[in-house]
C-alpha cells in the first residue's frame, strides 16, 4: 500500500517536471534574447536531471543516477557555459530574428503539442511510472524541429538540437522501465556533446567567413 | 435566507474596504523596493474620499453614456466579487452560469469603460479604449480557458462547487494542467489590471497609457467610482487566482473560528500574490505595445495546453 502510494507521488512529480519542461520549451519559442535562451535551456536540462533522479530513486537504478549527474554536469553547467562563451566571443547581435512572429510560432507549437498528445494517446493507458511523459517527449521533439526551422542563426539551431535531445532523453529515462542501457545513453550524450563543440567551432568559422551567422547565406558557397 | 443577506453584506463590505488597501499595499511595496518612500498604504482611501467630495467637470460633448459608465463599471465589479468565494466556501451569490457569468460581467464592465473613454470625444480616451479592447480580445479567451481547465477537472462551472471539490482530500494540488493554467491566469491578471509589462498604472504619459487614458476625462465622483471599481476588479481577479488554485483554509461553515481562520489565510494569500505582482512590476520593463500580443498569446497557448492536458492526465 505504502509502495503504491509513493509510486503515485513519484508519477505526479515526474509529470509536473515534464510539464515544466514543455512550458520552458514554449518560452524558448517566444523568447527573443539569445543569452536568455541559453539560460532557459539550462533550466530545462535541470528539470530533466531531476526527472532522472526521481526515476532512479523509485527503481533503485544506479545507472540512471549516472545519467542524472551527467545531465547536470554536461547540460546544465558545461554546455550553457560553452554557448555563453561563443555568444560573447563572436559579439553577435542578441536579438534572434525568427521567420514567424512570436504569436504565430506559439500557435504552431500549440498545434504540434496537440498532435503529439493525439499520437501518444494509445500509450497513456499503460500503468507505469511516468507513462504520460511520452506525449511531452514527442512534443519536445516536434517543437525542437520547429525551432530549428524557425531560426536562421546557426547558434540558435544548435540550441534547438539540444532541446530535441532533451526530448529524446526524457522518453528514454522516464518511459522505459529501467531507462536504456547505460552504454546507449552515454553514446547519445557524448555524441551531442561533441556535436555541440564541433558546431561551436563551425559557427565561429561561418561568422568569420560571412560576417554573419545566418545559415540562409550558406547557399552562396559556389566558387 | 437571513444568512444569505448577512453573507452578501459581509462580502460587499470586505470587497469595498479591502480593495483600496491592496492597491495601496502594491504601490507602497513597489516604492519601497525601488528605494523610494512611497505613499502610505491607506493613501487610496484618502484619494477616494477626496474624489467623492470634489465637483465634476464634464465635457460638453459627453452623452449619457459617459455618466452611466462609472456606475456600470463599479456595479459589475462588485457583482462579480459577490459571485466568487472569498472567505467562505459558499459564495454569497451563485445565481447563473458561474464562470461564464463572471467573465461576461467583467466584459460588460470593460465594454462600458471603453465607451466612457470614447464618449467625450477626447483623442486620448479613444486611443486608450482601442488599446484596451485590443488587449482584452486576447486576454479574455486566455482567462476563460484557464478557469475552464479547473472547471473541467471538477465537472462544474460554479465557483463555490469548484472550491468545495478542490478542498477535498485526494485533490491533486500540483496537477501540471493547473500549474499551466495558473501561470496563464497570472499573465491575464497583469493584463486586466494594467500592470507593468502591459500597462503602467502610475503614468500619464500620452504614448504608453492604456487604462489611465480612458479615465482622463473623468473627475470627482465618477473618477472615484472608476478607480474604486478598478481596484475591486483587481481584488476579485486575485481572489479567483488564489482561491481556485489554492483553496486551503476557506471557511466551510459560519463558526467564528473557521471564519477568522479563513479570513487570515485569505489575507495572507492575497498579500503574497500582491508581493509577486510587485516583484514582476519592479523586475520588468514595460513592453512595447506591439509586443504585448506576444506575451498574451503565450498565455493563451499556455491556457489552451492546460485545458488539453486535463483530458490527457485524467
- pLDDT of B191-227, one tens digit each? 999 888 888 877 777 777 888 889 888 999 999 999 9
Counted across chains A and B, CB pairs separated by less than 8 A come out at 56
User: What are the two backbone dihedrals, phi and then psi, of residue B284, each rounded to the nearest 5 degrees?
Assistant: -115, 155
Percent pLDDT > 90 in chain B is 49
Res B232: pLDDT: 95
Summarised one tens digit per residue, pLDDT across range B93-152 is 776 778 889 999 999 999 999 999 999 988 888 899 999 999 999 899 999 999 999 898
A163 contacts A141 by C-beta, under 8 angstroms: no
> How would residue B2 be classed by pLDDT, with cut points 50, 70 and 90?
low
Say if residue B1's pLDDT is above 50. Answer: no
Check residue B258 and give its pLDDT: 87
ipTM over 0.85: no
**Mean per-residue pLDDT for B1-29?**
87
pLDDT tens track for A141-172: 999 999 888 887 777 888 888 898 888 888 88
Q: Which residues of chain A have pLDDT under 70?
A: 1-5, 91-96, 124-132, 176-180, 213, 217, 220-223
- pLDDT for A2: 53
Q: Which residues of chain A have a Cβ shorter than 8 Å from any chain B Cβ?
A: 12, 15-16, 18-20, 22-23, 26-27, 30, 101-103, 106-107, 109-110, 113-114, 117, 121, 124, 132, 135
Cα B204 to Cα B124, B199, B209, B213, B214: the distances in Å are: 11, 11, 6, 7, 11
Residue B310 reports pLDDT greater than 70: yes
For B66, how many CA atoms within 13 A lie in the half-sphere containing its CB? 22
Q: Count structural domains, chain B.
A: 1
pLDDT tens-digit series, residues B240-252: 999 988 888 788 7
Dihedral angle at the C-alpha atoms of B56, B80, B134, B67, nearest 10 degrees? -20
d(CA A111, CA A129): 26
* pLDDT tens figures, B265-281: 999 999 999 999 999 99
Is the Cβ pair B176, A18 closer than 8 Å?
yes
With beta carbons under 8 A apart, name residues in chain B contacting A26: 298, 301-302, 305
3-class DSSP assignment, residue B88: strand
Give the pLDDT of residue A125: 60
Q: What is the pLDDT of residues B55-106, one digit of tens each?
A: 999 988 889 999 999 999 999 999 999 999 888 888 887 767 788 899 999 9
Chain B residues inside the 8 Å CB shell of A135: 312
> Using the beta-carbon criterion (under 8 Å), do A12 and B309 form an inter-chain contact?
no
3-state helix, strand, coil in chain A (%, to 5): 80, 5, 15
Contact at 8 Å (CB) between A22 and A113?
yes
Query: Does the distance separating the beta carbons of B176 and A106 come in below 8 Å?
Result: no
User: Quick one: which H or E segment has residue A172?
Assistant: helix A154-174
Rounded distance between C-alpha atoms, residue B87 and residue B102, angstroms: 18
Whether the CB-CB separation of A75 and A42 falls below 8 Å is answered with yes
DSSP category for residue B289: G
Dihedral in degrees, nearest 10, Cα atoms B197, B200, B201, B204: -170
Region of poorest pLDDT, from A174-178, B16-20, B71-75, B298-302: A174-178
How many CB atoms are closer than 10 A to CB A135?
A: 26
A39 to A191, B183, B273: CA distances (angstroms): 22, 20, 26
Query: Which of B176, B294, B297 minimises the CB distance to A16?
Result: B176
Domain carrying residue B241 = 2-312
In this predicted structure, what is the pLDDT of residue A202?
Answer: 79
CB atoms within 10 A of CB B280: 16
Say yes or no for a CB contact (<8 Å) between B312 and A132: yes
The pLDDT assigned to B218 comes to 92
What's the rounded Cα separation, in Å, for the pair A74 and A85? Answer: 15
pTM for this prediction: 0.85
pLDDT at A196: 82
Amino acid at each position: 500500500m505504502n509502495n503504491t502510494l509513493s509510486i503515485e507521488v513519484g508519477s505526479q512529480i515526474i509529470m509536473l517536471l515534464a510539464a515544466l519542461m514543455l512550458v520552458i520549451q514554449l518560452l524558448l519559442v517566444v523568447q527573443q534574447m539569445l543569452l536568455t535562451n541559453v539560460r532557459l535551456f539550462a533550466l530545462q536540462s535541470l528539470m530533466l536531471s531531476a526527472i532522472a533522479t526521481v526515476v532512479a530513486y523509485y527503481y533503485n537504478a544506479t545507472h540512471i543516477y549516472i545519467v542524472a549527474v551527467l545531465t547536470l554536469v554536461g547540460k546544465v553547467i558545461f554546455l550553457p557555459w560553452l554557448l555563453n562563451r561563443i555568444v560573447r566571443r563572436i559579439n553577435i547581435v542578441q536579438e534572434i530574428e525568427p521567420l514567424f512572429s512570436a504569436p504565430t510560432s506559439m500557435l504552431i507549437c500549440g498545434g504540434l503539442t496537440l498532435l503529439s498528445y493525439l499520437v501518444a494517446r494509445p500509450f497513456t493507458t499503460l500503468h507505469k511510472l511516468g507513462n504520460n511523459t511520452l506525449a511531452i517527449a514527442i512534443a519536445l521533439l516536434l517543437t525542437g524541429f520547429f525551432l530549428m526551422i524557425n531560426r536562421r542563426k546557426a547558434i540558435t539551431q544548435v540550441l534547438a538540437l539540444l532541446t530535441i535531445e532533451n526530448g529524446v532523453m526524457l522518453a528514454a529515462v522516464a518511459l522505459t522501465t529501467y531507462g536504456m542501457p547505460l552504454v546507449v545513453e552515454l553514446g547519445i550524450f557524448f555524441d551531442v556533446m561533441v556535436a555541440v563543440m564541433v558546431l561551436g567551432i563551425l559557427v565561429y568559422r561561418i561568422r568569420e567567413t560571412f560576417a554573419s551567422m545566418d545559415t540562409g547565406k550558406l547557399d552562396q558557397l559556389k566558387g | 435566507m437571513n444568512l444569505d443577506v448577512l453573507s452578501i453584506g459581509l462580502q460587499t463590505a470586505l470587497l469595498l474596504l479591502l480593495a483600496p488597501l491592496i492597491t495601496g499595499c502594491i504601490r507602497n511595496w513597489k516604492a519601497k523596493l525601488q528605494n523610494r518612500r512611497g505613499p502610505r498604504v491607506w493613501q487610496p482611501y484618502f484619494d477616494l474620499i477626496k474624489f467623492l467630495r470634489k465637483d465634476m467637470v464634464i465635457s460638453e460633448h459627453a452623452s449619457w453614456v459617459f455618466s452611466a459608465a462609472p456606475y456600470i463599471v463599479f456595479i459589475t465589479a462588485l457583482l462579480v466579487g459577490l459571485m466568487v468565494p472569498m472567505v467562505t466556501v459558499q459564495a454569497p451569490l451563485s445565481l447563473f452560469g458561474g464562470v461564464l457569468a463572471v467573465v461576461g460581467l467583467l466584459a460588460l464592465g470593460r465594454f462600458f469603460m471603453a465607451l466612457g473613454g470614447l464618449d467625450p470625444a477626447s483623442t486620448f480616451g479613444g486611443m486608450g479604449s482601442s488599446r484596451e479592447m485590443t488587449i482584452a480580445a486576447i486576454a479574455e479567451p486566455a482567462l476563460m480557458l484557464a478557469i475552464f481547465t479547473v472547471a473541467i477537472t471538477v465537472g462544474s462551472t460554479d465557483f463555490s462547487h469548484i472550491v468545495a471539490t478542490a478542498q477535498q482530500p485526494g485533490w491533486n494540488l500540483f496537477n501540471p494542467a493547473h500549474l499551466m493554467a495558473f501561470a496563464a491566469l497570472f499573465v491575464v491578471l497583469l493584463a486586466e489590471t494594467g500592470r507593468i509589462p502591459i500597462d503602467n498604472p502610475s503614468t500619464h504619459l500620452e504614448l504608453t497609457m492604456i487604462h489611465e487614458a480612458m479615465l482622463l476625462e473623468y473627475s470627482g465622483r465618477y473618477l472615484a467610482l472608476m478607480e474604486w471599481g478598478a481596484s475591486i476588479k483587481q481584488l476579485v481577479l486575485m481572489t479567483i487566482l488564489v482561491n481556485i488554485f489554492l483553496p486551503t483554509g476557506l471557511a466551510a461553515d459560519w463558526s467564528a473560528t473557521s471564519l477568522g481562520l479563513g479570513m487570515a489565510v485569505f489575507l495572507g494569500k492575497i498579500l503574497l500574490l500582491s508581493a509577486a505582482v510587485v516583484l514582476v512590476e519592479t523586475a520588468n520593463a514595460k513592453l512595447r505595445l506591439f509586443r504585448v500580443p506576444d506575451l498574451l498569446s503565450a498565455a493563451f497557448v499556455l491556457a489552451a495546453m492546460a485545458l488539453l492536458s486535463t483530458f490527457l492526465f485524467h
